[in-house]
Structure 1
Amino acid sequence: MDGVIYHGNQILPGVREFIQWMQDENKEYLFLTNNSGYTPRELNQKLARMGLDVPEEHFYPSALATAAFLRQQAPGCSVFAIGEAGLLNALYDAGVTMNDVNPDYVVVGEGRAYSLDTLTKATNLVLNGAKLIGANSDVCGPIENGIAPACGALVAPIEMATGRKAYFCGKPNPLMMRTGLRLLGCHSAEAVMIGDRMDTDVISGMESGMATVLVLSGVSTRETLRTYAYRPSLVLNGVGDIPALAQRTAAAEA
Protein backbone atom coordinates (compact mmCIF):
# COMPACT_ATOMS: atom_id res chain seq x y z
CA MET A 1 0.00 0.00 0.00
CA ASP A 2 2.98 2.28 0.64
CA GLY A 3 3.75 3.87 -2.70
CA VAL A 4 0.39 2.91 -4.21
CA ILE A 5 -2.24 4.27 -1.82
CA TYR A 6 -0.18 6.53 0.44
CA HIS A 7 3.28 7.70 1.45
CA GLY A 8 3.43 7.49 5.23
CA ASN A 9 0.31 9.33 6.36
CA GLN A 10 -0.17 11.22 3.08
CA ILE A 11 -2.77 9.88 0.66
CA LEU A 12 -1.62 9.85 -2.96
CA PRO A 13 -3.40 11.76 -5.76
CA GLY A 14 -6.36 9.97 -7.33
CA VAL A 15 -6.60 7.26 -4.68
CA ARG A 16 -9.96 8.43 -3.36
CA GLU A 17 -11.45 8.33 -6.85
CA PHE A 18 -9.90 4.91 -7.56
CA ILE A 19 -11.36 3.29 -4.45
CA GLN A 20 -14.74 4.90 -5.07
CA TRP A 21 -14.67 3.58 -8.66
CA MET A 22 -13.93 0.02 -7.46
CA GLN A 23 -16.78 0.18 -4.98
CA ASP A 24 -19.22 1.75 -7.45
CA GLU A 25 -18.37 -0.91 -10.04
CA ASN A 26 -18.68 -3.72 -7.46
CA LYS A 27 -15.13 -4.84 -8.14
CA GLU A 28 -13.72 -7.55 -5.88
CA TYR A 29 -10.46 -6.15 -4.52
CA LEU A 30 -7.82 -7.00 -1.94
CA PHE A 31 -4.88 -5.02 -0.65
CA LEU A 32 -1.97 -7.49 -0.53
CA THR A 33 0.53 -5.46 1.45
CA ASN A 34 4.04 -6.56 2.33
CA ASN A 35 4.11 -4.25 5.35
CA SER A 36 3.76 -6.60 8.33
CA GLY A 37 3.45 -3.88 10.94
CA TYR A 38 -0.30 -3.28 10.73
CA THR A 39 -3.29 -5.47 11.46
CA PRO A 40 -6.22 -5.32 9.00
CA ARG A 41 -8.10 -3.29 11.61
CA GLU A 42 -5.24 -0.80 11.89
CA LEU A 43 -5.11 -0.46 8.10
CA ASN A 44 -8.85 0.13 8.06
CA GLN A 45 -8.44 2.84 10.69
CA LYS A 46 -5.44 4.40 8.94
CA LEU A 47 -7.41 4.80 5.72
CA ALA A 48 -10.41 6.07 7.69
CA ARG A 49 -8.23 8.89 9.03
CA MET A 50 -7.53 9.77 5.39
CA GLY A 51 -11.25 9.83 4.67
CA LEU A 52 -11.42 6.40 3.00
CA ASP A 53 -13.88 3.67 3.95
CA VAL A 54 -12.31 0.27 3.25
CA PRO A 55 -13.59 -2.68 5.34
CA GLU A 56 -11.09 -4.89 7.17
CA GLU A 57 -11.73 -7.93 4.97
CA HIS A 58 -10.10 -6.12 2.04
CA PHE A 59 -6.63 -6.27 3.63
CA TYR A 60 -4.22 -9.21 3.61
CA PRO A 61 -0.80 -8.17 4.98
CA SER A 62 2.34 -10.30 4.91
CA ALA A 63 1.96 -10.85 8.66
CA LEU A 64 -1.10 -13.01 7.98
CA ALA A 65 0.77 -14.86 5.21
CA THR A 66 3.66 -15.52 7.61
CA ALA A 67 1.36 -16.80 10.34
CA ALA A 68 -0.50 -19.02 7.85
CA PHE A 69 2.80 -20.50 6.63
CA LEU A 70 3.92 -21.35 10.17
CA ARG A 71 0.52 -22.80 11.09
CA GLN A 72 0.70 -25.05 8.03
CA GLN A 73 4.36 -26.05 8.34
CA ALA A 74 4.78 -26.35 12.11
CA PRO A 75 1.51 -26.20 14.09
CA GLY A 76 2.09 -25.06 17.67
CA CYS A 77 5.66 -23.92 16.98
CA SER A 78 7.48 -21.25 18.96
CA VAL A 79 9.22 -18.15 17.62
CA PHE A 80 11.42 -15.24 18.58
CA ALA A 81 9.67 -12.40 16.77
CA ILE A 82 10.91 -8.94 15.86
CA GLY A 83 8.06 -6.76 14.68
CA GLU A 84 4.99 -4.70 15.43
CA ALA A 85 1.43 -5.50 16.51
CA GLY A 86 0.39 -6.67 13.05
CA LEU A 87 2.93 -9.49 13.06
CA LEU A 88 2.66 -10.40 16.73
CA ASN A 89 -1.15 -10.55 16.70
CA ALA A 90 -1.17 -12.69 13.56
CA LEU A 91 1.28 -15.15 15.14
CA TYR A 92 -0.73 -15.39 18.36
CA ASP A 93 -3.96 -15.94 16.42
CA ALA A 94 -2.27 -18.80 14.52
CA GLY A 95 -1.39 -20.57 17.78
CA VAL A 96 2.29 -19.64 17.66
CA THR A 97 3.97 -19.04 21.03
CA MET A 98 6.78 -16.62 21.85
CA ASN A 99 10.11 -18.08 22.95
CA ASP A 100 13.38 -16.18 23.38
CA VAL A 101 15.40 -19.17 24.65
CA ASN A 102 15.15 -22.00 22.12
CA PRO A 103 12.55 -21.11 19.49
CA ASP A 104 11.83 -23.13 16.38
CA TYR A 105 11.94 -19.97 14.26
CA VAL A 106 13.23 -16.42 14.30
CA VAL A 107 10.61 -14.28 12.55
CA VAL A 108 11.46 -10.76 11.39
CA GLY A 109 9.07 -8.06 10.21
CA GLU A 110 9.14 -4.28 10.07
CA GLY A 111 9.17 -2.38 13.33
CA ARG A 112 10.68 0.05 15.74
CA ALA A 113 11.63 -2.82 18.09
CA TYR A 114 14.65 -3.58 15.88
CA SER A 115 17.91 -2.81 17.68
CA LEU A 116 21.46 -4.11 18.02
CA ASP A 117 20.35 -6.16 21.03
CA THR A 118 17.51 -7.86 19.15
CA LEU A 119 19.76 -8.37 16.13
CA THR A 120 22.41 -10.04 18.31
CA LYS A 121 19.79 -12.20 20.02
CA ALA A 122 18.27 -13.27 16.72
CA THR A 123 21.67 -14.04 15.21
CA ASN A 124 22.64 -16.37 18.03
CA LEU A 125 19.27 -18.10 18.08
CA VAL A 126 19.66 -18.86 14.37
CA LEU A 127 23.18 -20.13 14.95
CA ASN A 128 21.76 -22.40 17.64
CA GLY A 129 19.27 -23.97 15.24
CA ALA A 130 16.28 -21.67 14.83
CA LYS A 131 15.10 -21.29 11.23
CA LEU A 132 15.00 -17.75 9.84
CA ILE A 133 11.75 -16.33 8.45
CA GLY A 134 11.16 -12.88 6.97
CA ALA A 135 7.67 -11.46 6.60
CA ASN A 136 8.70 -10.02 3.22
CA SER A 137 11.78 -9.35 1.11
CA ASP A 138 11.26 -5.61 0.50
CA VAL A 139 14.49 -3.76 1.31
CA CYS A 140 12.91 -0.31 1.53
CA GLY A 141 9.61 1.49 1.31
CA PRO A 142 8.55 5.07 0.54
CA ILE A 143 7.65 7.45 3.35
CA GLU A 144 6.63 11.10 3.28
CA ASN A 145 10.19 12.46 3.33
CA GLY A 146 12.16 9.70 1.61
CA ILE A 147 12.48 5.96 2.17
CA ALA A 148 12.70 3.69 5.20
CA PRO A 149 14.47 0.32 5.53
CA ALA A 150 11.98 -2.54 5.23
CA CYS A 151 11.98 -6.17 6.26
CA GLY A 152 14.50 -7.45 3.71
CA ALA A 153 17.06 -4.90 4.90
CA LEU A 154 16.45 -5.86 8.53
CA VAL A 155 16.85 -9.57 7.83
CA ALA A 156 20.05 -9.11 5.80
CA PRO A 157 22.46 -8.62 8.75
CA ILE A 158 21.21 -11.86 10.34
CA GLU A 159 21.72 -13.69 7.04
CA MET A 160 25.22 -12.27 6.69
CA ALA A 161 26.23 -13.02 10.28
CA THR A 162 24.92 -16.60 10.25
CA GLY A 163 25.37 -17.66 6.64
CA ARG A 164 21.71 -18.80 6.66
CA LYS A 165 19.15 -17.63 4.12
CA ALA A 166 15.72 -16.48 5.25
CA TYR A 167 12.46 -17.79 3.83
CA PHE A 168 10.20 -14.86 2.93
CA CYS A 169 6.42 -15.28 3.16
CA GLY A 170 5.18 -12.07 1.52
CA LYS A 171 5.15 -11.06 -2.14
CA PRO A 172 6.42 -12.44 -4.48
CA ASN A 173 5.91 -15.76 -2.66
CA PRO A 174 3.29 -17.69 -4.68
CA LEU A 175 1.67 -18.90 -1.45
CA MET A 176 0.56 -15.35 -0.70
CA MET A 177 -0.67 -14.87 -4.26
CA ARG A 178 -2.72 -18.08 -4.21
CA THR A 179 -4.28 -17.05 -0.92
CA GLY A 180 -5.19 -13.67 -2.39
CA LEU A 181 -6.91 -15.28 -5.38
CA ARG A 182 -8.77 -17.67 -3.10
CA LEU A 183 -10.00 -14.81 -0.92
CA LEU A 184 -11.18 -12.97 -4.04
CA GLY A 185 -12.86 -16.11 -5.34
CA CYS A 186 -11.35 -15.83 -8.82
CA HIS A 187 -8.76 -17.30 -11.15
CA SER A 188 -5.55 -15.53 -12.12
CA ALA A 189 -6.87 -14.76 -15.62
CA GLU A 190 -9.67 -12.74 -14.01
CA ALA A 191 -7.37 -10.66 -11.78
CA VAL A 192 -5.03 -7.70 -12.18
CA MET A 193 -2.04 -7.09 -9.91
CA ILE A 194 -1.33 -3.39 -9.27
CA GLY A 195 1.81 -2.27 -7.48
CA ASP A 196 4.77 0.08 -7.37
CA ARG A 197 7.56 -2.51 -7.25
CA MET A 198 8.93 -4.52 -10.14
CA ASP A 199 10.73 -6.93 -7.80
CA THR A 200 7.69 -7.96 -5.76
CA ASP A 201 4.38 -6.73 -7.18
CA VAL A 202 4.89 -7.09 -10.92
CA ILE A 203 6.86 -10.34 -10.82
CA SER A 204 4.41 -11.93 -8.38
CA GLY A 205 1.47 -11.06 -10.61
CA MET A 206 3.25 -12.14 -13.78
CA GLU A 207 4.36 -15.50 -12.35
CA SER A 208 0.82 -16.11 -11.08
CA GLY A 209 -0.65 -15.57 -14.55
CA MET A 210 -2.23 -12.17 -13.88
CA ALA A 211 -2.17 -8.99 -15.90
CA THR A 212 0.04 -6.45 -14.13
CA VAL A 213 0.03 -2.69 -13.70
CA LEU A 214 3.11 -0.82 -12.47
CA VAL A 215 2.36 2.57 -10.92
CA LEU A 216 5.17 5.11 -10.74
CA SER A 217 4.00 6.63 -7.46
CA GLY A 218 6.32 4.54 -5.29
CA VAL A 219 9.66 2.73 -5.58
CA SER A 220 10.08 1.73 -9.24
CA THR A 221 10.69 4.33 -11.97
CA ARG A 222 10.82 4.23 -15.76
CA GLU A 223 14.61 4.09 -15.45
CA THR A 224 14.64 1.07 -13.11
CA LEU A 225 11.96 -0.60 -15.24
CA ARG A 226 14.47 -0.90 -18.08
CA THR A 227 16.83 -3.01 -15.95
CA TYR A 228 14.40 -5.93 -15.61
CA ALA A 229 14.04 -8.82 -18.05
CA TYR A 230 10.25 -8.81 -17.61
CA ARG A 231 7.69 -6.09 -18.21
CA PRO A 232 4.33 -5.13 -16.68
CA SER A 233 1.22 -5.24 -18.85
CA LEU A 234 0.75 -1.51 -18.30
CA VAL A 235 2.63 1.42 -16.73
CA LEU A 236 0.67 4.29 -15.17
CA ASN A 237 1.56 7.32 -13.08
CA GLY A 238 -0.76 6.19 -10.29
CA VAL A 239 -3.97 4.33 -9.50
CA GLY A 240 -5.89 7.54 -10.13
CA ASP A 241 -5.39 6.93 -13.87
CA ILE A 242 -7.31 3.64 -13.78
CA PRO A 243 -10.98 4.78 -13.66
CA ALA A 244 -10.66 6.99 -16.75
CA LEU A 245 -8.69 4.30 -18.57
CA ALA A 246 -11.38 1.72 -17.76
CA GLN A 247 -14.09 4.07 -19.03
CA ARG A 248 -12.24 4.69 -22.30
CA THR A 249 -11.68 0.97 -22.78
CA ALA A 250 -15.34 0.19 -22.13
CA ALA A 251 -16.44 2.89 -24.57
CA ALA A 252 -14.11 1.57 -27.26
CA GLU A 253 -15.46 -1.96 -26.83
CA ALA A 254 -19.11 -0.87 -26.87
Structure 2
Amino acid sequence: MTEEIKSWLTDMDGVLVHEGYALPGAAEFIARLTELDRPYQVLTNNSIFTPRDLSARLAASGIKVPEERIWTSALATATFVAQQMPGGRAYVIGEAGLTTALYQAGYIMTDVDPDYVILGETRTYSFSSITRAIRLIRDGARFIATNPDPTGPSTEGPLPATGAVAALITKATGRSPYFVGKPNPVMIRAALNRIEAHSETTAMIGDRMDTDVLAGMEAGLRTFLVLTGSTTEADVEKYPFRPTEVRPSIAELIDRV
Protein backbone atom coordinates (compact mmCIF):
# COMPACT_ATOMS: atom_id res chain seq x y z
CA MET A 1 0.00 0.00 0.00
CA THR A 2 1.39 3.41 -1.00
CA GLU A 3 1.76 5.79 1.92
CA GLU A 4 0.09 9.20 1.91
CA ILE A 5 2.19 12.10 0.65
CA LYS A 6 2.85 14.29 3.67
CA SER A 7 5.65 16.54 2.35
CA TRP A 8 6.44 18.09 -1.02
CA LEU A 9 9.53 19.25 -2.88
CA THR A 10 9.02 21.19 -6.09
CA ASP A 11 11.27 22.71 -8.70
CA MET A 12 10.70 26.39 -9.44
CA ASP A 13 11.37 27.32 -13.08
CA GLY A 14 9.13 25.36 -15.44
CA VAL A 15 6.89 24.18 -12.58
CA LEU A 16 5.84 27.30 -10.66
CA VAL A 17 7.01 30.08 -12.99
CA HIS A 18 8.21 30.69 -16.52
CA GLU A 19 10.09 33.92 -17.32
CA GLY A 20 8.56 35.70 -14.34
CA TYR A 21 4.98 34.58 -14.90
CA ALA A 22 3.13 32.08 -12.69
CA LEU A 23 2.25 28.82 -14.40
CA PRO A 24 -1.30 27.42 -14.19
CA GLY A 25 -2.16 26.20 -10.70
CA ALA A 26 1.14 27.24 -9.12
CA ALA A 27 -0.19 29.92 -6.77
CA GLU A 28 -3.12 27.70 -5.79
CA PHE A 29 -0.85 24.70 -5.12
CA ILE A 30 1.43 26.68 -2.80
CA ALA A 31 -1.58 28.29 -1.11
CA ARG A 32 -3.03 24.81 -0.51
CA LEU A 33 0.23 23.61 1.09
CA THR A 34 0.23 26.68 3.33
CA GLU A 35 -3.45 26.32 4.26
CA LEU A 36 -2.98 22.68 5.32
CA ASP A 37 0.41 23.36 6.95
CA ARG A 38 2.14 20.76 4.77
CA PRO A 39 5.96 20.78 4.96
CA TYR A 40 7.46 21.80 1.61
CA GLN A 41 10.52 23.24 -0.08
CA VAL A 42 10.90 25.00 -3.42
CA LEU A 43 14.15 23.85 -5.04
CA THR A 44 16.24 25.56 -7.69
CA ASN A 45 19.64 24.90 -9.24
CA ASN A 46 19.97 28.66 -9.79
CA SER A 47 22.74 29.90 -7.49
CA ILE A 48 22.58 33.56 -8.50
CA PHE A 49 19.87 34.74 -6.10
CA THR A 50 19.40 34.51 -2.34
CA PRO A 51 16.18 32.95 -0.99
CA ARG A 52 15.00 36.47 -0.10
CA ASP A 53 15.48 37.56 -3.72
CA LEU A 54 13.63 34.51 -5.02
CA SER A 55 10.80 34.95 -2.53
CA ALA A 56 10.31 38.50 -3.80
CA ARG A 57 10.42 37.37 -7.44
CA LEU A 58 7.81 34.67 -6.77
CA ALA A 59 5.62 37.18 -4.89
CA ALA A 60 5.74 39.49 -7.91
CA SER A 61 4.22 36.67 -9.98
CA GLY A 62 1.50 36.10 -7.37
CA ILE A 63 3.05 33.10 -5.58
CA LYS A 64 3.65 33.56 -1.84
CA VAL A 65 6.64 31.49 -0.71
CA PRO A 66 8.55 32.53 2.46
CA GLU A 67 12.33 32.58 2.04
CA GLU A 68 12.79 29.73 4.52
CA ARG A 69 10.81 27.53 2.13
CA ILE A 70 13.34 28.04 -0.68
CA TRP A 71 16.35 25.74 -1.08
CA THR A 72 18.95 26.69 -3.70
CA SER A 73 22.01 24.91 -5.05
CA ALA A 74 24.04 27.71 -3.43
CA LEU A 75 22.64 26.88 0.03
CA ALA A 76 23.15 23.17 -0.60
CA THR A 77 26.74 23.80 -1.67
CA ALA A 78 27.50 25.95 1.38
CA THR A 79 25.98 23.31 3.66
CA PHE A 80 28.00 20.57 1.97
CA VAL A 81 31.41 22.26 2.20
CA ALA A 82 30.74 23.40 5.78
CA GLN A 83 30.09 19.77 6.72
CA GLN A 84 33.12 18.53 4.82
CA MET A 85 35.53 21.21 6.05
CA PRO A 86 34.10 23.58 8.69
CA GLY A 87 35.47 27.12 8.63
CA GLY A 88 37.24 26.60 5.33
CA ARG A 89 38.50 28.95 2.63
CA ALA A 90 37.14 29.21 -0.89
CA TYR A 91 37.82 30.99 -4.16
CA VAL A 92 34.33 31.67 -5.51
CA ILE A 93 33.03 32.46 -8.97
CA GLY A 94 29.38 33.42 -8.54
CA GLU A 95 26.83 35.95 -7.42
CA ALA A 96 25.31 37.06 -4.10
CA GLY A 97 23.25 33.89 -3.71
CA LEU A 98 26.42 31.80 -3.46
CA THR A 99 28.72 34.20 -1.59
CA THR A 100 26.04 35.03 0.99
CA ALA A 101 25.37 31.34 1.64
CA LEU A 102 29.09 30.64 2.09
CA TYR A 103 29.61 33.59 4.45
CA GLN A 104 26.65 32.44 6.53
CA ALA A 105 28.20 28.95 6.65
CA GLY A 106 31.38 30.42 8.14
CA TYR A 107 33.54 30.40 5.02
CA ILE A 108 36.30 32.85 4.11
CA MET A 109 36.52 34.08 0.50
CA THR A 110 40.10 34.22 -0.76
CA ASP A 111 42.19 33.78 -3.88
CA VAL A 112 45.24 32.68 -1.87
CA ASP A 113 45.63 28.99 -1.03
CA PRO A 114 41.89 28.14 -0.78
CA ASP A 115 40.60 24.74 0.25
CA TYR A 116 38.01 24.86 -2.54
CA VAL A 117 37.36 26.52 -5.84
CA ILE A 118 33.58 26.87 -5.93
CA LEU A 119 31.94 27.61 -9.26
CA GLY A 120 28.41 28.96 -9.42
CA GLU A 121 26.30 30.75 -11.97
CA THR A 122 26.89 34.34 -12.98
CA ARG A 123 25.97 36.48 -15.96
CA THR A 124 29.48 37.96 -15.97
CA TYR A 125 31.96 35.07 -16.22
CA SER A 126 35.37 36.69 -16.67
CA PHE A 127 38.43 35.25 -18.36
CA SER A 128 40.66 36.38 -15.49
CA SER A 129 38.53 34.70 -12.77
CA ILE A 130 38.34 31.45 -14.75
CA THR A 131 42.11 31.57 -15.29
CA ARG A 132 42.65 32.06 -11.56
CA ALA A 133 40.35 29.13 -10.80
CA ILE A 134 42.27 26.89 -13.20
CA ARG A 135 45.60 27.75 -11.60
CA LEU A 136 44.29 27.23 -8.05
CA ILE A 137 42.86 23.83 -8.96
CA ARG A 138 46.12 22.81 -10.60
CA ASP A 139 47.86 23.86 -7.38
CA GLY A 140 45.65 21.52 -5.34
CA ALA A 141 42.37 23.27 -4.50
CA ARG A 142 39.35 20.94 -4.54
CA PHE A 143 36.85 21.71 -7.31
CA ILE A 144 33.14 22.11 -6.44
CA ALA A 145 30.32 23.35 -8.69
CA THR A 146 26.82 24.30 -7.60
CA ASN A 147 25.06 22.47 -10.43
CA PRO A 148 25.69 20.74 -13.77
CA ASP A 149 23.20 22.70 -15.93
CA PRO A 150 25.05 23.54 -19.19
CA THR A 151 22.70 26.39 -20.14
CA GLY A 152 20.26 28.75 -18.48
CA PRO A 153 17.22 30.54 -19.88
CA SER A 154 16.94 34.16 -20.94
CA THR A 155 14.46 36.13 -23.03
CA GLU A 156 17.00 36.17 -25.89
CA GLY A 157 17.69 32.42 -25.73
CA PRO A 158 19.99 30.01 -23.87
CA LEU A 159 22.98 31.32 -21.90
CA PRO A 160 26.09 29.32 -20.95
CA ALA A 161 25.70 28.24 -17.33
CA THR A 162 27.69 26.51 -14.59
CA GLY A 163 28.01 23.14 -16.30
CA ALA A 164 29.45 24.66 -19.48
CA VAL A 165 32.06 26.71 -17.59
CA ALA A 166 32.87 23.70 -15.40
CA ALA A 167 33.61 21.72 -18.59
CA LEU A 168 36.04 24.44 -19.70
CA ILE A 169 37.86 24.32 -16.34
CA THR A 170 37.90 20.50 -16.40
CA LYS A 171 39.45 20.53 -19.87
CA ALA A 172 42.19 22.89 -18.68
CA THR A 173 42.93 21.09 -15.40
CA GLY A 174 41.99 17.45 -15.94
CA ARG A 175 39.91 17.71 -12.75
CA SER A 176 36.15 17.22 -12.71
CA PRO A 177 34.07 19.08 -10.11
CA TYR A 178 31.76 17.58 -7.54
CA PHE A 179 28.31 18.90 -8.50
CA VAL A 180 26.12 19.49 -5.43
CA GLY A 181 22.85 20.56 -7.10
CA LYS A 182 20.26 18.39 -8.83
CA PRO A 183 20.42 15.60 -9.92
CA ASN A 184 22.69 14.92 -6.93
CA PRO A 185 20.42 13.38 -4.26
CA VAL A 186 22.57 15.21 -1.67
CA MET A 187 20.55 18.35 -2.45
CA ILE A 188 17.28 16.44 -2.03
CA ARG A 189 18.29 14.83 1.25
CA ALA A 190 19.40 18.19 2.67
CA ALA A 191 16.01 19.67 1.71
CA LEU A 192 14.26 16.76 3.44
CA ASN A 193 16.32 17.37 6.58
CA ARG A 194 15.28 21.02 6.62
CA ILE A 195 11.62 20.09 6.96
CA GLU A 196 12.19 16.87 8.93
CA ALA A 197 10.54 14.85 6.17
CA HIS A 198 10.97 11.21 5.18
CA SER A 199 11.57 10.02 1.64
CA GLU A 200 8.80 7.41 1.91
CA THR A 201 6.15 10.11 2.40
CA THR A 202 7.58 12.90 0.22
CA ALA A 203 7.06 13.68 -3.47
CA MET A 204 9.20 15.66 -5.91
CA ILE A 205 7.63 17.74 -8.69
CA GLY A 206 9.79 18.79 -11.62
CA ASP A 207 9.81 19.63 -15.31
CA ARG A 208 13.10 17.90 -16.19
CA MET A 209 13.79 14.19 -16.36
CA ASP A 210 17.58 14.57 -16.14
CA THR A 211 17.61 16.69 -12.95
CA ASP A 212 14.32 16.79 -11.02
CA VAL A 213 13.00 13.30 -11.67
CA LEU A 214 16.43 11.65 -11.51
CA ALA A 215 17.28 13.37 -8.20
CA GLY A 216 13.92 12.51 -6.67
CA MET A 217 14.09 8.90 -7.82
CA GLU A 218 17.64 8.41 -6.50
CA ALA A 219 16.62 9.90 -3.14
CA GLY A 220 13.71 7.44 -2.90
CA LEU A 221 10.86 9.92 -3.47
CA ARG A 222 7.76 9.63 -5.59
CA THR A 223 8.22 11.82 -8.65
CA PHE A 224 5.76 13.87 -10.67
CA LEU A 225 6.84 15.20 -14.07
CA VAL A 226 4.87 18.23 -15.24
CA LEU A 227 4.85 19.24 -18.90
CA THR A 228 5.05 23.02 -18.44
CA GLY A 229 8.84 23.23 -18.76
CA SER A 230 11.73 21.49 -20.51
CA THR A 231 10.60 17.87 -20.93
CA THR A 232 7.82 16.74 -23.27
CA GLU A 233 5.80 13.56 -22.88
CA ALA A 234 7.64 12.08 -25.88
CA ASP A 235 10.99 12.82 -24.21
CA VAL A 236 10.12 10.53 -21.29
CA GLU A 237 10.54 7.46 -23.49
CA LYS A 238 14.20 8.35 -24.17
CA TYR A 239 15.21 7.78 -20.55
CA PRO A 240 15.95 4.44 -18.85
CA PHE A 241 13.92 5.54 -15.81
CA ARG A 242 10.42 6.93 -15.44
CA PRO A 243 8.60 9.35 -13.14
CA THR A 244 5.91 7.94 -10.88
CA GLU A 245 3.35 10.01 -12.78
CA VAL A 246 3.26 12.51 -15.66
CA ARG A 247 0.87 15.47 -15.36
CA PRO A 248 0.10 18.39 -17.72
CA SER A 249 0.83 20.95 -14.97
CA ILE A 250 1.02 21.43 -11.22
CA ALA A 251 -2.68 22.39 -11.31
CA GLU A 252 -3.49 18.66 -11.61
CA LEU A 253 -1.72 17.99 -8.28
CA ILE A 254 -3.65 20.41 -6.06
CA ASP A 255 -6.10 17.67 -5.08
CA ARG A 256 -3.17 15.43 -4.02
CA VAL A 257 -2.07 17.80 -1.24
Q: Same fold by TM (over 0.5)? A: yes
- Residue pair 1:83, 1:111 contacting (<8 A) in 2 also: yes
Which blocks of at least 5 consecutive residues in structure 2 are unaligned? Answer: 1-11
Deviation at 1:146, TM superposition (A): 3.6
One-letter code of the match for 1:8?
A: E
Which of 154, 160, 171 aligns to 2:165? It is 154
What does residue 116 of structure 1 align with?
A: 127
1:221-232 paired onto structure 2 within 5 Å? 221-232=232-243
What does residue 44 of structure 2 align with?
A: 33
SS where residue 79 of structure 2 aligns?
A: helix
Deviation at 1:239, TM superposition (A): 1.2
What does residue 108 of structure 2 align with?
A: 97
- Residue pair 1:40, 1:61 contacting (<8 A) in 2 also: yes
Which of 189, 196, 199 aligns to 2:210? It is 199
Counterpart-to-counterpart distance in 1, 2:208 and 2:133: 28
1:104-253 paired onto structure 2 within 5 Å? 104-244=115-255, 246=256
One-letter code of the match for 1:213?
A: F
- Residue pair 1:2, 1:143 contacting (<8 A) in 2 also: no
TM-score (norm: length of structure 2): 0.89
Which blocks of at least 5 consecutive residues in structure 1 are unaligned? Answer: 248-254
Q: Which moved more, 1:10-19 or 1:151-160?
A: 10-19
One-letter code of the match for 1:39?
A: T
Superimposed CA distance per residue, residues 88-118 of structure 1 (whole angstroms, 9 cap, x where no aligned partner) = 0001111111111322211011112312222
- Residue pair 2:217, 2:223 contacting (<8 A) in 1 also: yes
TM-score (norm: length of structure 1): 0.90
Identical-residue share of aligned pairs (%): 48
Q: Which moved more, 1:159-168 or 1:6-15?
A: 6-15
One-letter code of the match for 2:58?
A: L
Higher helix share: 1
Superimposed CA distance per residue, residues 20-63 of structure 1 (whole angstroms, 9 cap, x where no aligned partner) = 22223332210121111111111111112222221111111111
Counterpart-to-counterpart distance in 2, 1:97 and 1:167: 20
Counterpart-to-counterpart distance in 1, 2:195 and 2:155: 31
- Residue pair 1:3, 1:141 contacting (<8 A) in 2 also: no
